[in-house]
């Protein structure tokens, strides 16, 4: 049986495996997914997870439950030697080992891209994982609880100041959602007022959300401004050492929550492979999702999709001729890849990936959203409703959709859950405090 190894069970990898389960005949191939995480993460929900509108576990999909005809290995792929068709797997505990394969599918996604700004690596938090989103939710609720007991002063201000770096889609969504979350929290405290909270978004360019038109992005700016949030355009973060934020404009303030959303880059793990990589660190691909070398020659038995891949955008809508890194592409590429791989196994020709952009939809806080498709822009409540509808149904698996929609309905009826569990980071503390120890 042909052995297919899928590196990464995120959007693209999960859908590749799911569709291979469906299309492969019994005995045709054995499919293995390797991922250090036991679930795929629905990343568009991360801003709503951070803002308490979606429970963290509802925004992920367990590999072992939904890829039941696929072999799942929870480990990192640390090396690929495609010339010899072997991959090194490194588990969280234990020694690395090597597996062999016949066909490899690399869908290892992207990671947060940072710049060497003092303090960022130590102080900031990204927004690419469910752990980060859940931790942001706990941090903000914990900071409100702490600030409520403090008199006016710098420490109180620091706890009630939220900074988001990066005015792309993810940055604006989490900024808007957290502003909305903070307003719900303010209502629960009689010692914290709306004016005590400060929200700063730092964007190096002269505008936000390049995916929407300039007038739409300006509407979003006005919307955020009306909610007391401050957007610093044409501004760079210069330092974040110990939470002291310094901007290129000379402005400084302190913050206990600095969220970095200023870009992503292809997963650097691909540098530990002998697969062809282009200038931006992505695996070179043809439109049919087969890996190609610098001369455009197909590398046999190697496929790729999603954020880690430089896939030509045949619709003409991409950046530099390539598909932009988003879920719209990752899902569809995963499905196409599975069909192409099955066709290849059966001696048929693969079909080129083609997808026309469906537009962009974002939630920027409870009951507020924005949608843009070409010149059509919808703003406010309807766009927010579209955002929830689209993503609720795009969430893989009915079981997961039901949890998300169910949670939204419960929140609508009883308001969103303001509970944080900050002690989750130190779960043994309560036990340890009172535990008897042997006498010295
Ligand atoms: C906050 C946020 C909001 C977003 N909103 C939208 C949106 O509204 N619309 C949209 O279209 N897109 C959105 N995106 C982008 C979208 O989520 C990504 O483009 C999509 O997840 C890419 O899919 P992927 O499969 O390439 O990578 P991922 O989904 O990131 O999956 C990569 C997988 O590889 C695994 N992996 C990493 N290293 C290794 C290794 N060494 N070995 C094995 N496995 C490994 C990871 O654990 C992960 O499971 C958003 C992203 C973020 C962060």
* Per-residue pLDDT tens digits for 319-342: 899 999 999 999 999 999 999 999
Summarize pLDDT for 286-295 with one digit per residue, the tens: 999 999 999 9
CA of 92 to the centre of ligand 1 (A): 21
CA of 308 to the centre of ligand 1 (A): 9
Q: Looking at the predicted structure, is the pLDDT value of residue 361 above 90?
A: yes
* Residue 127 or 358, more confident: 127
Going by alpha carbons, the residue nearest to atom 17 of ligand 1 is 43
Q: How far away, in angstroms, is 187 Cα from ligand 1 center? A: 35
What average pLDDT does this structure show over 133-162? 97
Atom of ligand 1 nearest to the CA of 7: 43
Q: What is the pLDDT of residue 56?
A: 97
Residues with CB under 6 A from ligand 1: 7-13, 34-37, 40, 43-44, 46-47, 76-77, 107-110, 127-128, 169-170, 267, 269, 306-308, 325-328, 330
Q: What pLDDT, on the 0 to 100 scale, is given for residue 394?
A: 96
The structural domains of the chain, with segments of one domain joined by +, span: 2-36+75-112+264-345, 120-262+359-416
Looking from the CA of residue 10, the nearest atom of ligand 1 is 31
Q: How far is CA 279 from CA 115, 266, 294, 410, in A?
A: 18, 11, 11, 47
Q: Whose CA is nearest to atom 48 of ligand 1?
A: 10
3-state secondary structure the chain: CEEEEEECCCHHHHHHHHHHHHHCCCCCEEEEEEECCCEEECHHHHHHHHCCCCCHHHHEEEHHHHCCCCEEEECEEEEEECCCCEEEEECCCCCCEEEECCEEEECCCEEECCCCCCCHHHHCECCCCHHHHHHHHHHHHHHHHHHCCCCCCHHHHHHCEEEEECCCHHHHHHHHHHHHHHHHHHHCCCCCCHHHCEEEEECCCCCCCCCCCHHHHHHHHHHHHHCCEEEECCCCEEECHHHEEEECCCCEEECCEEEECCCEEECHHHHHECCCECCCCCEEECCCCEEECCCCCEEEEEEECHHHEECECCCCCCECCECCCCHHHHHHHHHHHHHHHHHHHCCCCCCCCCCCCCCEEEECCCCCEEEEECCEEEEEHHHHHHHHHHHHHHCCCHHHHHHHHHHHHHHHHHCCCCCCCHHHHCCCHHHHHHCCCCCC
CA 135 to CA 141: how far, in whole Å?
10
User: What percent of the chain stands above pLDDT 90?
Assistant: 97
> Which atom belonging to ligand 1 lies closest to the Cα atom of 325?
19
Tell me the best of 41, 101, 132, 330 to mutate to test the pocket of ligand 1, counting ligand atoms within 8 Å of each CB and taking the most.
Answer: 330
Closest CA to 129 of 66, 42, 63: 42
**What is the 110 CA–ligand 1 centroid distance (Å)?**
6
- More confident site: 440 or 380: 380
- Does the pLDDT of residue 317 top 90, yes or no? no
Query: Taking each helix axis from N to C terminus, what angle separates 214-226 and 169-187, rounded to the nearest 10 degrees?
Result: 20
CATH code for the part of the protein at 2-36+75-112+264-345: 3.50.50.60
Pocket perturbation via mutation, ligand 1, pick of 35, 76, 92, 261 by most ligand atoms within 8 A of CB: 35
Intrachain domains 2-36+75-112+264-345 and 120-262+359-416 with the same fold: yes
Average pLDDT of every residue of the chain: 97
Instruction: Tell me if the domain spanning 120-262+359-416 has CATH number 3.40.50.300.
Output: no
Cβ proximity of 182 and 140 under 8 Å: yes
> Are the C-beta atoms of residues 103 and 341 closer than 8 Å to each other?
yes
Protein residue with its CA nearest to atom 53 in ligand 1? 128
Kindly give, in sequence order, each residue whose CB lies less than 8 Å from that of residue 407, ignoring residues fewer than 6 positions away. Answer: 53, 54, 55, 58
């Amino acid at each position: 049986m042909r052995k297919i190894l899928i590196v990464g069970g995120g959007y693209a990898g999960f859908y590749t495996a799911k569709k291979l389960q469906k299309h492969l005949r019994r005995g045709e191939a054995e499919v293995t997914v390797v991922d250090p995480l036991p679930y795929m993460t629905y990343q568009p929900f991360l801003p709503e997870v951070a803002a308490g509108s979606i429970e963290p576990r509802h925004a992920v999909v367990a590999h072992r439950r939904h890829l039941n005809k696929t072999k799942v290995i929870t480990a990192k792929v640390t090396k690929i030697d495609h010339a010899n068709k072997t991959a090194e797997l490194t588990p969280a505990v234990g020694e690395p080992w090597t597996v062999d394969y016949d066909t490899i599918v690399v869908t290892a996604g992207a990671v947060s891209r940072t710049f060497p700004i003092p303090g960022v690596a130590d102080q900031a938090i990204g927004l690419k994982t469910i752990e980060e989103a859940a931790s942001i939710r706990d941090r903000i609720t914990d900071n409100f609880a702490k600030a409520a007991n403090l008199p006016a002063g710098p420490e109180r201000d620091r706890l009630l100041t939220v900074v988001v770096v990066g005015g792309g889609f993810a940055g604006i969504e989490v900024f808007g959602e957290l502003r909305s979350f903070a307003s719900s929290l303010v209502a629960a405290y009689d010692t914290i007022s709306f004016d005590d909270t400060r929200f700063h978004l730092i964007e190096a360019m002269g505008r936000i959300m390049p995916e929407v038109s300039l007038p739409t992005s300006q509407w979003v700016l006005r919307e955020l401004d009306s909610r007391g949030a401050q957007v610093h355009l044409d501004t760079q973060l210069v330092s974040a050492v110990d939470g002291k934020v310094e901007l290129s404009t000379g402005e400084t303030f302190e913050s206990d929550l600095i969220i970095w959303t200023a870009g992503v880059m292809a997963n650097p793990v691909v540098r530990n492979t002998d697969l062809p990589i282009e200038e931006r660190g992505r695996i070179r691909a043809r439109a049919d999702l087969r890996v190609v070398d610098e001369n455009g020659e197909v590398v046999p038995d190697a496929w790729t999709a999603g954020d880690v891949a430089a896939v030509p955008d045949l619709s003409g809508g991409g950046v530099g001729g390539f598909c932009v890194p988003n879920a719209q592409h990752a899902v569809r590429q995963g499905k196409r890849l599975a069909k192409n791989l099955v066709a290849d196994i059966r001696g048929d020709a693969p079909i080129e990936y083609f997808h026309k952009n469906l537009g962009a939809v974002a939630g920027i806080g409870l009951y507020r959203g924005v949608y843009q498709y070409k010149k059509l822009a919808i703003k406010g409540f309807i766009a927010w409703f579209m955002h929830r509808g689209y993503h609720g149904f795009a969430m893989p698996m009915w079981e997961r959709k039901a949890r998300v929609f169910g949670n939204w309905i419960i929140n609508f009826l009883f308001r969103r859950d303001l509970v944080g569990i900050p002690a989750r980071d130190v779960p043994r503390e309560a036990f340890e405090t009172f535990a008897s120890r042997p006498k010295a």
